Amino acid sequence: MGPGAVAHLRNFAACAIAVTVLAIVNKGTMDLLLLIAVGWFAVSVTAVLRTRSAGSFVKWNGILLVVDALFDIAVMGTHLPAWLPPGALSQWNFDSGQGWILAYWIVLWGVALPNRTLAMANQAALSPRAAIALVIAVIGLHVTFVEDVIYFTILGYPPLVSVPPENYAYLPQLFGLGVWTAPKVWVVSTIGLLIFIVTSVVVVTSSKRTTVFGRRRTSAGVPPRAAERAPGEHR
């Protein structure tokens, strides 16, 4: 692992600890949150360590979208399914003030996850242009609330089928679109997801093409330019 990836992974680890402690202090109990937080952190570190190409970068970020949503569900503890035992996950203390939730959002979405994404990009051995494109596409998933749609889908409110209890009104008012509603979130998140998919296909295809051409050899296993030289000719 290169120094860049190590630095970003260290930043992610510090923020993961901070956001978990913040949530436990706010809720006043650890319940299952601590166990879920450890699992979330373990999957995140595994994703960084196993990212070796554009393809694995895309694959692991898709997995992490679901894992991040599960961690967020454990932190918030609201609208939980009936089969979950009472007290397994306590609810976020919303009476504690807006400052707590803002701190949670900033540390998790603003610092921790971007550092994790940068660590993965460092591991993927991509060109600077490809790395920047993929990192922006992943950040775009969070900015366009794709994780929030997955969050409520896990809780039984899939898009275009049922509107979640809060109708996404809790989301910050970005892009000048006013108070968020389910139709707005579904449209914006679809755009974010499509941008990620298109960017991923372009970068992965380009990376595979570069790899194939970079390893091109003649049938005799001799590099093409060497094969073209006359016998006895040297560089």
pLDDT tens by residue, 203-224: 999 877 665 444 433 334 444 4
Q: What is the pLDDT of residues 129-169, one digit of tens each?
A: 999 999 999 999 999 999 999 999 999 999 988 898 888 88
Is 80 exceeded by the pLDDT of residue 74?
Answer: yes
| Distance, CA of 216 to CA of 224 (rounded, Å) | 8
State the pLDDT at residue 175.
66
State the pLDDT at residue 30.
83
| Distance, CA of 89 to CA of 40 (rounded, Å) | 16
Contact call for residues 124 and 57 (beta carbons, < 8 A): yes
Domain residue spans of the chain: 3-228
Query: Whole-model pTM?
Result: 0.84
Q: What integer is the mean pLDDT of 77-85? A: 84
- C-alpha angle 103/104/106, rounded to 5°? 65
Q: Cβ of 127: how many Cβ atoms within 10 Å? A: 13
